[in-house]
Each structure stands twice: as C-alpha cells, then as structure tokens.
Amino acid sequence: MSKQKVEIERRRTFAVIAHPDAGKTTLTEKLLLFGGAIQVAGAVKSNKIKKSTTSDFMEIEKQRGISVATSVMGFVYKDKQVNILDTPGHKDFAEDTYRTLTAVDSVIVVIDVAKGVEAQTEKLVEVCRMRDTPVIVFINKMDREGKDGFDLLDEIEEKLGLRVCPLTWPIGMGQEFKGVYNMYEQKMNLFAPNTKYGNVMEFEDLDNPDLEKHVGEDAANELREDVETLNEVYPKFDHSEYVKGKLSPVFFGSAVNNFGVKEMLDCFVGIAPSPTTYLTEERIIDPFDSKFTGFVFKIHANMDPRHRDRIAFMRVCSGIFKRNTNYLHVRKAKKMKFSNPTSFMAARKEVLEEAFPGDIVGLYDSGNFKIGDSLTEGEQLHFKGIPSFSPEMFKYIENADPMKSKQLAKGIRQLMDEGVAQLFVKNNNGRKIIGTVGQLQFEVLQYRLQHEYGAKCRYEPIMLFKACWITSENTEQLDLFRRKKVNYMAKDKEDRDVYLAESSWMLQTAQADYPDIQFHFTSEF
C-alpha cells in the first residue's frame, strides 16, 4: 500500500457542534485528554482558575467563556490521526460553523439531557443532512436530572430528522445515575464521579444476577426492560448506512466527569469515515488522486497577539501537501510556496513537512487568501459549497479616531476576509455599512479593531431589512434598476452589486417590478 493510502485511511476529521452550553467545548477537551494531547483539562466554567479551555484562545472568548472562532486540534489515538474542529455554538457565529462543516468528513452533535434538541442544533444538523455528513449524537450531562432517554430519541428523530441507533444506554440519571450499558460491546461502565474512567465490567448476559449487586434491583430490572425495547424498536447498527449519513449512533455520558466519552471515542475511531470525495465546479476530487488539491475554509488573524499573523486554514482534499513546494493559487493565478505550514493544537503550532487528505494545515498569509480559495498543482479548480449568507443586522461604521484611519481600513479589510462580518459601500455617498448575522459580531469586530489594529470605530443605526446580491442577463433592466434604486445600491468587497432593501415589502416590490433580475441570499451564485 502506498504511504498516501495508508495515511488517508488513518485520518478522522470531524467537527463537534452543539447549542451553546450543551458542553461541546468540555467534550472536545476530554477527547484531547484521552488522546494524550493535553495533560490537564482547563475548567471551562471556573474563572477562579485562570486556565482557559485549550481550544478557546482569543482574549474575548476567555472573558466571555464562549467559543467564537473555530479552532483545530489534532492528536493520535489507537494509531488513528484524529483532527477535531471545535465550532462556535453561539448562533451569531453560525456562518463560521457552516463553513467549517465543509471541511469535515463527519460530525458529533452534543445534546444537553435537560434541554433536549435546541433551535441552533436543528439548523446545523440540517446543513449536515444536506451534505449527507455522517452524524454521531452524544447526550451529555447525564449526572443531572433531564428528559427520559426514549423521549430524547424521539425528539432527535423528529426535530433533527436523523434515524437513530443507541449504542450505549444510561442506567438512571441525575442523583440516581449509575452508569451506562455499552450495547455495542456488551459491557457495563459504572459511574464513579471524579475518577478518570469509572469501572468497566463485561456483561454479555443482562440476566446475570450479579447485575443487581452493582446497580440495585430496580435499576437492573429497568435496564433489562429498556434494552429489550431498544432491540425491538431501533435498527441494528449498520456501518454502511452510517457512512452514507442515513443512521446516527447515540451515546450517553457526562463529559465534565470524563464519563461515556471514551466509549464514544473508541467507537468513533472504529466507524467514522476516512476522508471522502469533494465536489468542485470542474470535477469530483478523489482523496487518492496523486496530485495535491486543497481549499481555504477559514482565515484567522492574530492567533498570536505578539506577531501580527494571519493564518489561512486549508483542508487537504487529495494528494500530499509538501512544505516549500510551489502550488497554484487558482483565483490569483500565481504560484506560491509555504516555508512554515503548521499543524494545530489550539494555540500551539508546529511546522509540518507534509500533510495528507483530511488534514487541516495553517498557512501564514499576508493578505493573499480569501475564504473558498483553491490551491492545486496547476489545475483550475473551484470548490463548491462555501457560502456567505446575506446578513440580517446592519450598522454604519465610522472612524472614531481620525489619526488612525489607515489602521481602521486595514483592520476592516482583514476582518472581512476572515468572514467575521460583511462590508458594503453605498454607491451614492461612499458610506460603509457592516452587515452581520448576529449582534455579538459587532462587539467582536469593535473589540478586535481596537486590540489588534489600534483603531477605534463607532456604529450608527441604519434601518435595513435585507442585503441581497443581484445579477441579470438583461443589462438594460439591470442598468435601469441601478439608476432607479441608486440610494439603495452598494458594492461588497468583491465589487459585486448589492441591493439594500429597507423592508420586506420593498424587496417583494422590487422582485415583482424587475422580473429579469435575480436576487441572491447567499454569495454562491
């Protein structure tokens, strides 16, 4: 077997997604702990201990205790190279998460046992379903009171549209939580808070009277009944159905207590898909192709505040990426080589010599990259499915320190390339408008402009309902529209036409009056 083939089959690249506070960052951290990638878990919630979670490295994240930037972490577990992308749970950063989902081969969804399926989770899983991404569900916080296991499975099937297949099952919950029964391996893991793993026992036959000794009579009887019901009602685990995204294994546990995480990780490295094919406008990319291809799905400025660096996160899709080798930057049609490409362990970075399909590589970037850019060995390829969404919140942005206008312009340009927000410049007066998907992005933008670029901005209100991109084959109608709507026209940073509608009525009227014009609500058209 070629080295490339061996390495591809070792790779497991996945994202962890959830609603805020479902325990996603804690779970990510426990996975790193089992992978030996970190020695001690930073208490996510505790501000008394000044250790922040490994994956939250931006200052504003440490202050708020939320993840606002996707971070990438890699480790080796059971000879598999595991690459985790931790995503922001906060809905204001959903766009960053949508883009991250384009760079992974499977997903773990974390659900809080007490809250069940929440709105944000529904949206993200919908994106996974559109792409047939394989999904594993982890039901977290079993050491607290919450919803009944069967009710949760129903809710997951109804709200998320997933066919579920429980591979572990809880014995009690909250105060009564005794552990989980691993149906996949017919073992029982007894819960002991604050120990690293709990006690594992093999139980091939649940009718064994020893069960009562460990969990008590009531819990033992309930477990036997539950398992019988599960075997009747839910499908057996079928690996091919899971890989097609048609069947989702479910695990129960408590990430904060390290409980149930190892079972999921063991199963995950066994069943999760290795890197798969990618769609480009020109052809389908097979990971086993000999030539290197990759695309940029995220850009992050100032990962290290001491050095003003920007890093483009690139997913390797085929071939082998090598350090100090010339590759074609397709959009700019120029050759580039990278002397210090990096692999990630949250904020710790190491230079790598080569990377294989499924790996995420950090490329130092002096402003050459935008989200969605392709790198190849010379072939013209354009990757699909990395959209920007039309924003829903708008503010004028003004310079609050006239001495720093250069810094402000540079900061805005770089942060827009990162996809933090979108910038529109009005045609009639040149005023700049920032559009975002959520309120929190305005604060993050203001904070980062000040702390990373030394520039101050202030916002002024503007009443807008929607910004949408417009195109048309009918140039006469397009020109007429631009003239008639001059007060509502702007350009985005790619110099494309954008129509700023003040109300839904205005948008509907424009769509009715100009039938030959297409109004686009994502930037992929």
Does 291 reside within a domain? yes
Nearest Cα residue to 51 out of 62, 61, 59:
62
Q: Based on the fold, state whether residues 460 and 355 are members of the same structural domain.
A: no
Does 402 reside within a domain? yes
Q: Based on the fold, state whether residues 468 and 341 are members of the same structural domain.
A: no
Domain span at 354: 278-376
Q: Which residue has the higher pLDDT, 92 or 419?
A: 419
pLDDT band of residue 521 (cuts 50, 70, 90) is confident
What mean pLDDT is reported for the chain?
83
Does 388 reside within a domain? no
Q: Based on the fold, state whether residues 18 and 166 are members of the same structural domain.
A: yes
Does 503 reside within a domain? yes
Does 416 reside within a domain? yes
Which pLDDT belongs to residue 366? Answer: 77
DSSP 283-318: -EEPTT-SS-EEEEEEEEE-SSTTTT-EEEEEEEEE
pLDDT band of residue 252 (cuts 50, 70, 90) is very high
Which pLDDT belongs to residue 336? Answer: 93
Answer for the pair 491, 503: CB distance below 8 angstroms, yes or no.
no
Q: Based on the fold, state whether residues 167 and 253 are members of the same structural domain.
A: yes
pLDDT in tens, 178-224: 888 888 777 878 877 666 555 667 766 777 777 787 778 888 888 88
pLDDT band of residue 46 (cuts 50, 70, 90) is very low
Answer for the pair 493, 371: CB distance below 8 angstroms, yes or no.
no
Q: Based on the fold, state whether residues 206 and 328 are members of the same structural domain.
A: no
Q: Based on the fold, state whether residues 45 and 141 are members of the same structural domain.
A: yes
Question: What is the SS3 string spanning 114-149?
Answer: CCECCHHHHHHHHHHHHCCCCEEEEEECCCCCCCCH
pLDDT in tens, 401-426: 989 999 999 889 888 877 778 899 99
Dig out the tokens for 58 from the structure: 């931006």
How big is the chain, counted in residues?
525
Q: Based on the fold, state whether residues 63 and 184 are members of the same structural domain.
A: yes
Q: Based on the fold, state whether residues 356 and 453 are members of the same structural domain.
A: no
Which distant-in-sequence residues (6+ apart) come within 8 Å of 277 by Cβ? 284, 285, 286, 287
CATH label of the domain that carries residue 422: 3.30.70.3280
Q: Based on the fold, state whether residues 46 and 194 are members of the same structural domain.
A: yes
- Cα separation, 95 vs 66, whole angstroms: 16
Domain edge (last residue) among 271, 291, 308: 271
For 333-382, strand residue ranges (E) read 334-336, 342-345, 348-351, 354-355, 360-364, 374-376
Q: Based on the fold, state whether residues 472 and 498 are members of the same structural domain.
A: yes
Domain edge (last residue) among 244, 271, 298: 271
Which pLDDT belongs to residue 37? Answer: 55
β-pair type (374-376, 293-301): antiparallel
Does 36 reside within a domain? yes
Res 501 pLDDT > 90: yes
Neighbours of 248 (CB within 10 A): 23
- Cα separation, 403 vs 500, whole angstroms: 31
Which pLDDT belongs to residue 216? Answer: 82
How many domains is the chain partitioned into structurally? 3
DSSP 60-96: HHHHHTS--S-EEEEEEETTEEEEEEE---SGGGHHH
- What mean pLDDT do residues 447-472 have? 91
Res 117 pLDDT > 50: yes
- Cα separation, 211 vs 205, whole angstroms: 9
Q: Based on the fold, state whether residues 37 and 155 are members of the same structural domain.
A: yes
Domain edge (last residue) among 243, 271, 299: 271
Which pLDDT belongs to residue 65? Answer: 46
Res 156 pLDDT > 70: yes
Burial bucket for residue 388 (CB in 10 Å: 0-12, 13-18, 19+): buried
Q: Based on the fold, state whether residues 295 and 251 are members of the same structural domain.
A: no
Which pLDDT belongs to residue 162? Answer: 93
β-pair type (497-501, 334-336): unpaired
Does 84 reside within a domain? no
- What mean pLDDT do residues 33-54 have? 47
Q: What percent of the chain has pLDDT over 70?
A: 85
- What mean pLDDT do residues 390-401 have? 90
Q: Residue written as tokens 């503007």?
A: 462
Vertex 398, ends 394 and 402: CA angle to 5°? Answer: 165
Does 91 reside within a domain? no
pLDDT in tens, 363-387: 888 778 888 889 999 899 988 766 6
CATH label of the domain that carries residue 302: 3.40.50.300
